[in-house]
Chain A
Amino acid sequence: MFREHGPYVHRLLRRLGVHPSDVDDAFQEVFIVIHRKRAEFEHRSSVRSWVYGICVHVASRYRRLRNLAREVAEEEASEPVDPTTPIESATVKEAREVLSAILDQLDGDKRAVFVLYELEELSMQEVAQSLECPVQTAYSRLRAAREAVDAAVRRYRAQREFK
């Protein structure tokens, strides 16, 4: 489980908006939850969607804690991406920062469905299982999330042009 899903869980937690300095702790928590809840897993969904559902819950909790504590220190803020860098030649780190800047503009539900479908490439059925919602709800959230991402991209590019 750890070898197979661990690296993806780590990346998913980042994609879901867990602050970089919290990702290791959140990762640990995910595997503690898996360890504790393994007996409750009933094979009604794939292991992957079950694990990713746990990630969504844990990420949501960490985002909430971060907001409560309000301790996003300046020194922890990520380095700004050079606005002249063409996105096609961006490094992984730069791309991650651009993606974060865009996804940070989405609410938790839209972000989760967008990340699980577009980035993690789960099927819509698996997305719905991870989010514990009907498939139709997942579809409508994805539609809304795509619109929100388009708007966020427009805002991001407009900001780049002003720099």
Chain B
Amino acid sequence: MSREPIRVVDLTDGASSEQQFIGEVIRAERMGLPSAAKMDELAARLGPIVRPKGGGLFGTSGRWLVATALAGAFVVAIFAVRSSGTTDVAPAASRAAPPSEIHEVVTPPPNAVAVPPAPVEPAISVEQLPSAAAPSRPRAPALAASAASACAGEIDLVERADAALRANDPAGALAMTRAHIARCPDGAFAQECERIAVEALTRLGRTAEASARANAFERRYPSSPYVRRIRNLVQQGSSESTR
């Protein structure tokens, strides 16, 4: 490590005027971190996939936890009534996912009727994690399977649809999302595709279709980070069409 080049901000003697200049710029720019309010806003956008380290239950993200836990309990109750006498329960979602300091809200499995309100996971700091030279493990089968099942050209198609939307071509974007659905019905970027489709429909003034699609999206992906954005899109579209 000691052989690493001296960083330009640390150069003193012998620094060229260009190095001094860029060093000054870097020093001045260093404090340009987003404010706490901005981070709260971003956390709210991400919704259930983030939560405070200390398990602050009633913080911005804590509300998501409570809502998710309540929604989960409600689903569990319905499921329990419907499936009494049957055993086809698939609680695969409760598997632990490393690394544990990536906080995730997992919808409670159907057999977990008593949902504890946001259990506090032991928080592990980055420093506690093993560094680069951890023993290698066999490649996860799920990874190989996901690579094998990846739909060829899917990312390209979604990116082009997104680019069309940004270039103010909602009709073109919508056509590409149709192509995506036809080509990759179970694609890994189905959520992104739906988000683009809803936005395209909104921009085309087809608010009823946008609203129906948004509702279907929310039913299919209730904890998606795009739910909030899609709701906003539909609301904006509806208010514009009533003007």
Q: Which residues of A contact B (CB under 8 A)?
A: 1-4, 6-8, 10-11, 14, 24, 27-28, 31-32, 34-35, 38-48, 61, 64-66, 68-71, 87-88, 90-96, 98-99, 102, 117-119, 121, 123-126, 129, 142, 146, 149-150, 153-154, 157
Nearest CB in chain B to that of A123: its residue = B1
User: Is there an interface contact between A38 and B97, defined as CB atoms closer than 8 Å?
Assistant: yes
Q: Within the complex, what minimum Cβ distance (angstroms) separates B172 from chain A?
A: 12
For residue A61, which residues in chain B have a CB less than 8 angstroms away from its CB? 159
What residue of chain A has the Cβ atom nearest to residue B125's Cβ?
A4
Which chain A residue shows the least CB distance to B45? A28
Interface assignment of B208: CB less than 8 Å from any CB of chain A: no
Known contacts A39-B97, A39-B142, A47-B129, A2 near B46 by CB under 8 Å? yes
Whether B98 lies near A39 (C-beta < 8 A) is yes
- The 26 sampled A-B contact pairs (Cβ below 8 Å) are A1-B102, A4-B53, A10-B33, A10-B39, A11-B32, A27-B42, A31-B50, A38-B99, A38-B104, A39-B140, A43-B134, A87-B25, A88-B28, A90-B24, A95-B26, A95-B32, A99-B29, A102-B25, A118-B9, A118-B26, A119-B26, A125-B1, A149-B18, A149-B22, A153-B18, A157-B21
Query: Taking the complex as formed, is B239 at the interface, i.e. its CB lies under 8 A from any CB of chain A?
Result: no
Given A41-B98, A117-B7, 15 new contacts (CB under 8 A): A3-B39, A4-B126, A7-B33, A7-B34, A11-B33, A24-B42, A24-B45, A28-B225, A61-B159, A69-B167, A88-B28, A90-B28, A102-B25, A118-B9, A124-B4
Across-interface contacts of A27 in B (CB, < 8 A) = 42
3 shortest interchain CB distances as A-B pairs: A95-B28, A69-B166, A95-B29
Give the residue of B19, B24, B129 whose beta carbon is less than 8 angstroms from that of A150.
B19
A122 CA to B5 CA, complexed, in Å: 12
Contact partner of B46 (CB less than 8 A), chosen from A7, A11, A28, is A28
A31-B46, A35-B102, A117-B7 known; A150 vs B18 contact (CB < 8 Å): yes
